[in-house]
Amino acid sequence: MSAKSLAILGSTGSIGKQSLDVCRKCGYGVKALTAYSSEKEMENQAREFNPEVVALVDEKAARELKTRLADTDIKVLSGVEGVCECAVLSGADTVLNSIVGMAGLKPTLEAIRAKKKIALANKETLVAGGKLVMAEAEKNGVQILPVDSEHSAIFQCLQGKPSNRALKKIILTASGGPFFGKTAQELKNVTVENALKHPNWSMGAKITIDSATMMNKGLELIEAVWLFSVKPEDIEIVVHRESIVHSAVEYDDNSVIAQLGLPDMRIPIQYALTYPERFESPAGELSLSQIGRLSFFEPDYDTFKCINICKNAINKGGLCTAAVNSANEQANLMFRQGKIGFLDIAEKVEEVLECTAYRDEYTFDDVMEVDRFAREYVMR
Ligand code: NDP
Ligand code: MG
């Protein structure tokens, strides 16, 4: 059944704003909104969508927002607890998680326990705690619908799949980012400004840097392993510069099914909300003749080391992917702050992976402990 009433976590971000655009178009009710500290944007959103409750993690910003919204009936909460309260709100049937980073893990788990339908953009949730999330989803009979464009594409290509055996492999496409074709030597001194210039997508700063290092594709490989119960070796990564083919699947009979569309996140966001139905979209129509040609390449694994670091982490298993994710979150931030160079990101993440021990069983608290360790390691 498609979504009717939503809690949007991370509503002031790139995905959050585009999700609200889809809600405008589809007429869905917005019952809760959350962000970290963007009180002005949150006030505007709250006034337009009139949710029951809003939450900001930052206490000071939440106090400010409360004053701003004093003339309304909207409840204003604060802290991580406030975000989690929004995630379990009884008035919402679906939680769209577009928080950036593994801060999204706790609210995702709480929303699953409250049996909400989950539309998940926040890939770090699955990279850091995929095993916990999938186990909780199974236990509670909750479906996780992907928002990430590649995973939405794969999910769409899998509709009508006859049996488990029929799927041979997943073809995960990657734009290649702003540094496609560059050598490691050329990447040594690239600036934050260079790295933030993505050729096809307009996104938040963290994921834009992840696209430049191609860590994003490594994280997405891990995301696909959890979402579609496949082995890492059954996922082929292909660089596709135009970002028109959003991913594909190959079946046992060598038939390849792909999903295509303009690079506009409102298409996958909307599908996660309307699934299994489809409605008109605010996004534009694809004209293949106007696009003219589509190109595909093998990734340069030697220059963009993050893809194989992620493959090694998921093959090692246990908490290794959580360690890689947290190390990357910290290194990505430090690069944006001008504290480390572009190539240091992969190096730091690899070092953290090397000193993370495999452990089969783990809890949420273990993930948080690995998170602290990884961030401290990168900072020292
Ligand atoms: P943005 O940085 O644009 O937005 C992040 C949102 O999360 C903001 O609302 C922000 O609030 C909030 N936030 C930040 N830190 C925290 C925290 N610690 N706790 C709670 N909320 C927090 O990110 P994007 O929209 O680009 O990305 C969101 C997620 O979606 C990421 O996981 C990304 O990988 C994924 N994704 C994004 C795509 C895109 O096109 N942008 C495509 C595919 C996946 P505030 O404004 O107050 O800082
Ligand atoms: Mg993606």
Residue whose pair of structure tokens reads 């990357």 in the numeric block: 328
Structure confidence at residue 358 as a pLDDT band (50, 70, 90): confident
Q: Is the pLDDT of residue 194 over 70?
A: yes
280 CB contacts (<8 Å, ≥6 apart)?
Answer: 25
Query: What was the pLDDT predicted at 197?
Result: 93
Count of other CB atoms within 10 angstroms of residue 232: 15
CB distance 108 to ligand 1 below 6 Å: no
Q: Which phi and psi (to 5°) does residue 370 adopt?
A: -60, -35
Q: Is the pLDDT of residue 110 over 80?
A: yes
- Taking CA atoms only, the protein residue closest to ligand 1 atom 22 is 36
Query: Of 176, 149, 153, 175, which Cα lies nearest the Cα of 14?
Result: 149
Structure confidence at residue 248 as a pLDDT band (50, 70, 90): very high
Average pLDDT over residues 219-233: 98
State the burial class of residue 77 (Cβ atoms within 10 Å of its Cβ: 0-12, 13-18, 19+): buried
Cα distance between residue 354 and residue 17, in whole Å: 38
Q: Is the pLDDT of residue 1 over 60?
A: no
Query: What was the pLDDT predicted at 272?
Result: 98
CB distance 98 to ligand 1 below 6 Å: yes
Structure confidence at residue 3 as a pLDDT band (50, 70, 90): low
Q: Is the pLDDT of residue 164 over 70?
A: no
Average pLDDT over residues 290-306: 98
Structure confidence at residue 333 as a pLDDT band (50, 70, 90): very high
> What tokens does 287 get?
């004209």
Length of the chain: 380
Provide the mean pLDDT of the chain.
Answer: 96
> What percentage of the chain carries pLDDT values higher than 70?
99
Query: What was the pLDDT predicted at 192?
Result: 97
Query: What was the pLDDT predicted at 360?
Result: 81
Q: Which of 9-18, 156-165, 349-358 has the lowest mean pLDDT?
A: 156-165
Query: What was the pLDDT predicted at 230?
Result: 96
Q: Is the pLDDT of residue 141 over 60?
A: yes
Query: What was the pLDDT predicted at 198?
Result: 87
Ligand 1 centroid, distance to 202 Cα (angstroms)? 13
Ligand 1 centroid, distance to 96 Cα (angstroms)? 12
Average pLDDT over residues 253-275: 97
Atom of ligand 1 nearest to the CA of 83: 20
Residue whose CB lies within 8 A of the most ligand 1 atoms, among 12, 17, 99, for a mutation test: 99
Cα distance between residue 125 and residue 121, in whole Å: 9
> What tokens does 250 get?
């190959």
16 CB contacts (<8 Å, ≥6 apart)?
Answer: 8, 9, 10, 33, 35, 98
Amino acid identity for residue 97 in this structure: N
Cα distance between residue 153 and residue 145, in whole Å: 11
Q: Are strands 167-174 and 245-251 parallel, antiparallel or unpaired?
A: antiparallel
CB distance 207 to ligand 1 below 6 Å: yes
8 Å CB contact between 5 and 27? no
Question: 245: which strand partners?
Answer: 260
Q: Could you give the C-alpha distances from 219 to 2, 23, 172, 257, 268, in angstroms and in order? A: 28, 28, 12, 23, 18
Structure confidence at residue 249 as a pLDDT band (50, 70, 90): very high
CB distance 265 to ligand 1 below 6 Å: yes
Angle among Cα 69, 72, 78 to the nearest 5 degrees reads 45
Q: Is 99 helix (H, G, I), strand (E, B) or coil?
A: coil
Structure confidence at residue 2 as a pLDDT band (50, 70, 90): low
Q: Is 173 helix (H, G, I), strand (E, B) or coil?
A: strand
Query: What was the pLDDT predicted at 195?
Result: 96
